[in-house]
C-alpha cells in the first residue's frame, strides 16, 4: 500500500508550502513569465529583509529595510522584471540597490548586473547577501545613481528603483539600440506611474505605462549610513 497523501502533505516543510503559495499568488495576480517566476522561486526573499520580518517575506507585502528605505512587494518587483523583457545575454544597470533583492532576481535572468546604491550601509549589506548566495554576475557599487560615470558603458536594460519627475537624458544615452528603461515618474501629489521606455535604433523613444507605483523620490549624492 502506498504512502498516505495526507501524511505526505504534512511532511512538506512549512517553508516549501509558503514558497509554493507565494508563487501561486504571483501567477494569480498576472505574472506569466516563467523565467521571472523561476527567479522568484530561487532567490530567498527572507534573506533580504530584517530578521524580525523574515516570517512576512513570503507574503506580498512591502517591508521596511535599513536607512529608511523600503523593499517593494514581490508582485511589483515581478512586474518590473516582466516590463524589462529580459534576455540571458543582457547587461543591466540598476539604480537603487536597496536590500539587493531585485538585483539578485536580475542576476538570475541576465548576463551581468551593475547596481548603484547611494547608502553605503545598504551597498555593503547587499554585497554580503549576494556573496552568501554565490551570485557572481552582479556588482553593487556605492555611488550616486544620478551621476553614473561614462566608463560604465552601455546597457541593454536600465531599471530605476526610485521615482523621478522626468526621464534623465544621461540614462537614455546609456541605452543600447532597442534598449529599455523602466522607471517611475510622478510625485506624491499627482501620483506615480511605472513606465517602460524603449529606444530604437534611430534614438526615438516609445513610452508605455505599466501600473501605478509608490517609490520614494530619488536623492542625489552619497550617504555613508543612517
What pLDDT score was predicted for residue 160?
A: 96
The CB density around residue 188, as the number of other CB atoms within 10 Å, is 10
Spatial separation of the C-alpha atoms in residues 132 and 98, rounded to whole Å:
17
Strand partners, 217: 163
Distance CA 174, CA 190 (A): 28
Q: Which residues, including other chains, have CB under 8 Å from residue 62's CB and lie 6 or more apart?
A: 70, 71, 72, 73, 76, 214
In this prediction, residue 96 has a pLDDT band, given cuts at 50, 70 and 90, of very high
Query: Over the stretch 108-145, which tens digit does the pLDDT of each residue have?
Result: 999 999 999 999 999 999 999 999 999 999 999 999 98
Share of the chain above pLDDT 70, in %: 91
- pLDDT tier for residue 10 given thresholds of 50, 70 and 90: very low
Distance CA 114, CA 130 (A): 13
pLDDT at 30 over 90: yes
Pairing of strands 205-213, 191-199: antiparallel
Phi, psi of 16 (to 5 degrees): -70, -40
> For the whole model, what pTM was predicted?
0.89
Q: Quickly state the pLDDT bin for 190 (edges 50, 70, 90).
A: confident
Average pLDDT over residues 15-27: 88
pLDDT band at 52 (very low <50, low <70, confident <90, very high): very high
Residue 224's pLDDT is 63
Domains present along the chain, CATH in parentheses: 5-213 (3.40.50.150)
Question: Which of the two residues, 146 and 224, has the higher pLDDT score?
Answer: 146
Amino acid at each position: 500500500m502506498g504512502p498516505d497523501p495526507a501524511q505526505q502533505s504534512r511532511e512538506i516543510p512549512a517553508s516549501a508550502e509558503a514558497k509554493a503559495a507565494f508563487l501561486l499568488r504571483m501567477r494569480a495576480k498576472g505574472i506569466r513569465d516563467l523565467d521571472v517566476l523561476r527567479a522568484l522561486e530561487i532567490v530567498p526573499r527572507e534573506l533580504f529583509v530584517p530578521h524580525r520580518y523574515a516570517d512576512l517575506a513570503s507574503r506580498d507585502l512591502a517591508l521596511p529595510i535599513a536607512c529608511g528605505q523600503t523593499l517593494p512587494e514581490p508582485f511589483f518587483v515581478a512586474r518590473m522584471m516582466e516590463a524589462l523583457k529580459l534576455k540571458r545575454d543582457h547587461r543591466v544597470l540598476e539604480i537603487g540597490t536597496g536590500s539587493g533583492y531585485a538585483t539578485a532576481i536580475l542576476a538570475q535572468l541576465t548576463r551581468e548586473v551593475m547596481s548603484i546604491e547611494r547608502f553605503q550601509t545598504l551597498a555593503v549589506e547587499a554585497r554580503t547577501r549576494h556573496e552568501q548566495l554565490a551570485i557572481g554576475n552582479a556588482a553593487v557599487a556605492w555611488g550616486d545613481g544620478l551621476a553614473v560615470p561614462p566608463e560604465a558603458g552601455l546597457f541593454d536594460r536600465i531599471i530605476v528603483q526610485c521615482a523621478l519627475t522626468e526621464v534623465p537624458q544621461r540614462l537614455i544615452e546609456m541605452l543600447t539600440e532597442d534598449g529599455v528603461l523602466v522607471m517611475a515618474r510622478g510625485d506624491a501629489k499627482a501620483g506615480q506611474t511605472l513606465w517602460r521606455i524603449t529606444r530604437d535604433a534611430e534614438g526615438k523613444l516609445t513610452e508605455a505605462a505599466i501600473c501605478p507605483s509608490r517609490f520614494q523620490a530619488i536623492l542625489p549624492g552619497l550617504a555613508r549610513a543612517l
